[in-house]
């Protein structure tokens, strides 16, 4: 064999290896001190109608004591091309920070939602739900057009060795829930996890699903299948969550922000004076929006769900964004005096291409108040409101609100905080045009966890969102 053909053979083999096994970490770039690293999740395989809801432990993640500046993700195929939502519906991806006991081996992939607590400690965000919604980052179909950048001089501090309990190391977990809706008989129904379309009467843990549970995550767990049109043929294919993490090395000039996630299904009630019990933030994560009945004169057919909770600790709002599913028309968070802390509106796609799929929420507008202009005070009563169109029924919808809050620093920093009191909010992404489209749609996704499992398996800590 000539040198030339050896070389060709080698190139061919290399090419094959690259094609078959895309390297998980493609590259780290640096621009103005901000590093940007692109990774691929482990691969998941889908065929028409199938669902993948897997948990990947110890995923690739930037190392060291850093400030996270953004986390963006999307589904790509083996060739690295973006996959549209009408083919692979991204119900949610969630990224959880945890401490792993050194010397204990765990497979990188578990279908299981829990780990023995002593080997595995979830480093939760700052609140406010108990059990689920512990993630640092997570989005659904809106992932391609939702800004996640944390403005300067703020950052999400991670990887600080002094925070890690002795004998443990910090790691990251990724949960990806995706539904292949190619050839689906009812695309929206599949994305809304309607139990009849999945032909499911028992959930993942073999518990009966009550007849009044029409749809939601209990019916579209890992390896379930949504009904596909008779005779539809579609290939099995390998997909990845491609995620891009931007970060900077930690230094004293960075102001840390805390992550809070509010959920409109939180069952918390203000404790009565007579009761000594502590109110719990039991977050149900999903809810049902019934269609507006024809008999009721409700011309605009809009459904509003509202809760009031006290905010645990105060500070400046640095960033806010809501998460809703198809049919969503916006969420708002109000302070005790009625002021708008942040309102976030869905952006619906209008075409076919990835990032602009008609009928899907492809982005959510986000709030970047001028630092210091919008504050929440400790213990303030806030009202969270989630609007949906109920021109038709929507099952398994969500209404989450993700906030980054900078606590007042002990020494006021006059450079950073303008004393502007106008409460100006910059809404990025104009969603006005997009709102016209709601009514069609598909669900969007986010995160989930079943507290019941949590209760069932003492000693395990549940992960999900
Ligand atoms: C639905 O499930 C039942 C029992 O689990 C099975 O007998 C039936 O064939 C399934 N129907 C379809 C359309 O898959
Ligand atoms: C939600 O709906 C209510 C009632 O129709 C309306 O007053 C409010 O402005 C809406 N908020 C958002 C954020 O869409």
**pLDDT tens profile 322-350:** 999 999 999 999 999 999 999 999 999 99
**Residue 18 pLDDT class (50, 70, 90 cuts):** very low
Dihedral sign from CA coordinates of 216, 96, 75, 399: positive
The pLDDT of residue 294 is 59
pLDDT at 287 over 50: yes
Ligand 2 pocket test, pick from 332, 334, 367 with the greatest ligand atom count within 8 Å of Cβ, gives 332
Kindly list the protein residues whose Cβ atom lies closer than 6 A to any atom of ligand 2.
302, 304, 329-332, 343, 385, 387
Could you tell me the distance, in angstroms and rounded to a whole number, from the CA of residue 331 to the centre of ligand 2?
8
**Mean pLDDT of the region 23-36:** 79
Q: Which of 299, 304, 346, 435 to mutate to test the pocket of ligand 2 (most atoms within 8 A of CB)?
A: 304
- The rounded mean pLDDT for the chain is 84
Percent of the chain with pLDDT over 70: 77
Ligand 2 site-directed mutation target among 348, 387, 427, 432, most atoms within 8 Å of CB = 387
Domain ranges of the chain: 2-26+422-458, 33-415
The answer to whether 75 and 90 are in contact (CB under 8 A) is yes
Q: Whose CA is nearest to atom 14 of ligand 2?
A: 330
Give dist(CA 37, CA 266) in Å, integer.
Answer: 35
Q: What percent of the chain has pLDDT over 90?
A: 71
Residue with CA closest to ligand 2 atom 1 = 387
- Taking the CA of residue 329 as reference, the ligand 2 atom at the shortest distance is 14
Distance CA(285)–CA(446), nearest Å, equals: 9
Q: Nearest ligand to the C-alpha of residue 230?
A: 1
- The whole-number pLDDT of residue 270 equals 81
Cα–Cα distances in angstroms (integers) from residue 351 to residues 120, 189, 359, 362, 427, in the given order: 44, 20, 9, 11, 23
- Strands 44-46 vs 237-249: parallel, antiparallel or unpaired: antiparallel
- Rounded Cα distance between 174 and 317, Å, is 27
Token pair for residue 136?
């640092």
Q: How far is the CA of 301 from the centre of ligand 2 (A)?
A: 12
- Per DSSP, the three-state class of 170 is strand
Nearest ligand to the C-alpha of residue 199?
A: 1
Q: Which residue has the tokens 């057009």?
A: 145
Residue 386 Cα, ligand 2 centroid: separation in angstroms?
8
Residue 465 has pLDDT above 80, yes or no: no
Listed in sequence order, the residues at least 6 apart from 195 whose beta carbon sits closer than 8 Å to its beta carbon are 201, 209, 213, 214, 215, 218, 219
What mean pLDDT is predicted for residues 423-441? 30
Q: What is the phi/psi pair of residue 163, to 5°?
A: -85, -15
Which ligand has its closest atom nearest to the C-alpha of 49?
Answer: 1
Per-residue pLDDT at 443: 26
**Is the four-CA dihedral 122, 127, 131, 132 of positive or negative sign?**
negative
């Amino acid at each position: 064999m000539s040198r030339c053909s050896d070389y060709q053979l080698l190139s061919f083999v290399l090419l094959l290896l690259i094609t078959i096994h895309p390297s998980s970490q493609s590259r780290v770039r640096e621009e103005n001190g901000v590093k940007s690293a692109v990774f691929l999740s482990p691969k998941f395989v889908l065929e028409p109608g199938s669902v993948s809801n897997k948990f990947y432990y110890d995923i690739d993640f930037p190392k060291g004591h850093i400030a996270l500046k953004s986390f963006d993700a999307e589904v790509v195929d083996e060739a690295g091309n973006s996959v549209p939502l009408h083919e692979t519906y991204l119900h949610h991806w969630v990224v959880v920070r945890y401490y792993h006991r050194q010397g204990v081996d765990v497979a990188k992939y578990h279908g299981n939602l829990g780990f023995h607590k002593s080997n595995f400690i979830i480093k939760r965000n700052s609140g406010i739900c108990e059990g689920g919604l512990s993630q640092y980052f997570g989005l659904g179909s809106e992932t391609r057009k939702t800004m996640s950048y944390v403005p300067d001089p703020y950052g999400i501090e991670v990887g600080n060795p002094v925070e890690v309990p002795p004998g443990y190391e910090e790691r990251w977990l990724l949960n990806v829930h995706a539904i292949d809706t190619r050839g689906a008989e009812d695309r929206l129904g599949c994305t809304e996890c309607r139990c009849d379309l999945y032909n499911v009467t028992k959930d993942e843990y073999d518990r009966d699903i009550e007849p009044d549970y029409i749809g939601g995550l209990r019916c579209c767990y890992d390896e379930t299948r949504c009904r596909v049109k008779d005779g539809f043929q579609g290939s099995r294919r390998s997909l990845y969550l491609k995620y891009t993490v931007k970060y900077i090395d930690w230094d004293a000039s960075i102001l840390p922000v805390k992550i809070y996630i509010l959920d409109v299904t939180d069952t918390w009630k203000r404790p009565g004076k007579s009761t000594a019990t502590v109110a719990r933030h039991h977050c149900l994560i999903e809810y049902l929006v019934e269609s507006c009945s024809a008999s009721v004169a409700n011309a605009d057919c809009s459904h509003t769900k509202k809760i009031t909770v006290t905010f645990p600790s105060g500070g400046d709002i640095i960033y806010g964004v809501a998460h809703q599913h198809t049919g969503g028309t916006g969420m708002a968070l109000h302070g005790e005096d009625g002021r708008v802390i942040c309102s976030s509106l869905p952006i619906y796609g209008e075409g076919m291409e990835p990032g602009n799929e008609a009928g899907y929420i492809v982005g959510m507008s986000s709030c970047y108040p001028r630092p210091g202009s919008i504050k929440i005070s400790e213990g303030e009563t806030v009202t969270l409101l989630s609007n949906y169109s109920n021109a038709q029924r929507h099952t398994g919808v969500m209404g989450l609100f993700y906030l980054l809050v900078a606590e007042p620093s002990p020494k006021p920093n006059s450079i950073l905080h303008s004393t502007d009191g106008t409460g100006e909010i910059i809404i990025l992404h104009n969603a006005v045009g997009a709102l016209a489209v709601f009514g069609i749609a598909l669900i969007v996704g986010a995160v989930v966890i079943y507290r019941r499992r949590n209760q069932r398996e003492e000693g395990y800590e549940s992960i999900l969102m």
